[in-house]
Amino acid sequence: MNNFFFKIKNKIKLIDILNTLDVTEENFLNVNKNINQNIENLFIDDFVSFTNLKKNKLSFYTNKKDYLKNVFSGICIVEKINLHLLSDEVIKIPYKNPKKGFSTILEKYFGKSNFKNKRYSIHPLAFIHKTAKIGNNVYIGPYSFIDEGVIIEDNTYISERVSISYNCKIGKECFLGVGSVIECTIINDKVMISSNTVVGKSGFGFIPNKTKTQLTPHIGGVFIGEGTNIGAGCTIDRGLIDDTQIGKYVMIDNQVHIGHNSKIDDFCILAGQVGLSGSVVLKKNVTIGGDVSIKDNVTIGEDSVIAGASKVFNNFPKGSYIGGSPAQDIKAWKRMIAAQRLDLKKRKNN
């Protein structure tokens, strides 16, 4: 942990960590039979990577690589099947998914909810239109602009210099990062939007005519489903007529562009620098690697995976594994290459 930017105000009791992870004291003691002190006296004063694990530090172990050489103390979240791999001197917290458990702990002590300033709910330098409706326990930072008819529901955090335009709605327990801009958008509960992301601006639609090219007004909106996370520096265009739609629990990395009228279904994952042209459809649970471009009006079927740096020009069905430029079904490509190699071998033998 970088102690210059992140600090533990008070030592964290190990018993609090166990309670957060739902690990019983009995289960904990069963795998740490050599502990000779009261569990109430054990504490954590730092979060570290596994290779830097020392006394009173917390980390996790996943057994993906052999990092065991110099680790002989500290507190580690680990799967039961890997308990025997760690030194007896390491205090072990048994947990089914160690990385997820570690993430849960970090969220508790350093998550977005910890940014809230308890001294006031609305900064005096924020501008709030008299018709805006602000829920309970809402924080609005300095120089933020909340326009006419905006609704912000309970327990939402609006950072400084955020702009929320006419009639937009922000759900409960949302987070909007510094400098984010929201227009023509309805945001459901528990949505996180990082700094300098622009949602709901007019899309790239126009009638070309040399010096008289005319931009087409976009009269659609944007809808973002519950639990979605959007990174920094993203742009999401509103629809031309119908809405641009992003489903529930979608994970969008930094610097992603989503064109007008695109529809992203639940549980999709988009890595950094992905670009979707207009009217792209991603069905449920599509995963896209970094630097992927998808042509307009393309549909990607449910449970598909697109490899990084691919350029996609065609539709793909459910369960596709896609890659290349132009992109193709990698399984089909491998079968074709295998067939070509077999044919070449036969010709050589003849």
- 317 upstream amide cis, omega within 30 of 0: no
What's the per-residue H, E or C state across the chain? CCCCCCCCCCCEEHHHHHHHHCCCHHHHHHCCCCCCCCHHHCEECEECCHHHCCCCEEEEECCCCCCCCCCCCCEEEECHHHHHHCCCCCEEEECCCHHHHHHHHHHHHHCHHHHCCCCCCECCCCEECCCCEECCCCEECCCCEECCCCEECCCCEECCCCEECCCCEECCCCEECCCCEECCEEECCCCEECCCCEEEECCCCEECCHHHCEECCCCCCEEECCCCEECCCCEEECCCCCCEEECCCCEECCCCEECCCCEECCCCEECCCCEECCCCEECCCCEECCCCEECCCCEECCCCEECCCCEECCCECCCCEEEECCEEEHHHHHHHHHHHHHHHHHHHHC
Tell the burial category of 144 from Cβ atoms under 10 Å away from its Cβ (0-12, 13-18, 19+): buried
CB atoms within 10 A of CB 161: 18
Q: Which of 84, 123, 257, 260 is catalytic?
A: 260
Residues in contact with 215: Cβ distance below 8 Å, sequence separation at least 6, in sequence order: 202, 205, 206
Active site residue 260: yes
Provide the annotated active-site residues. Answer: 260
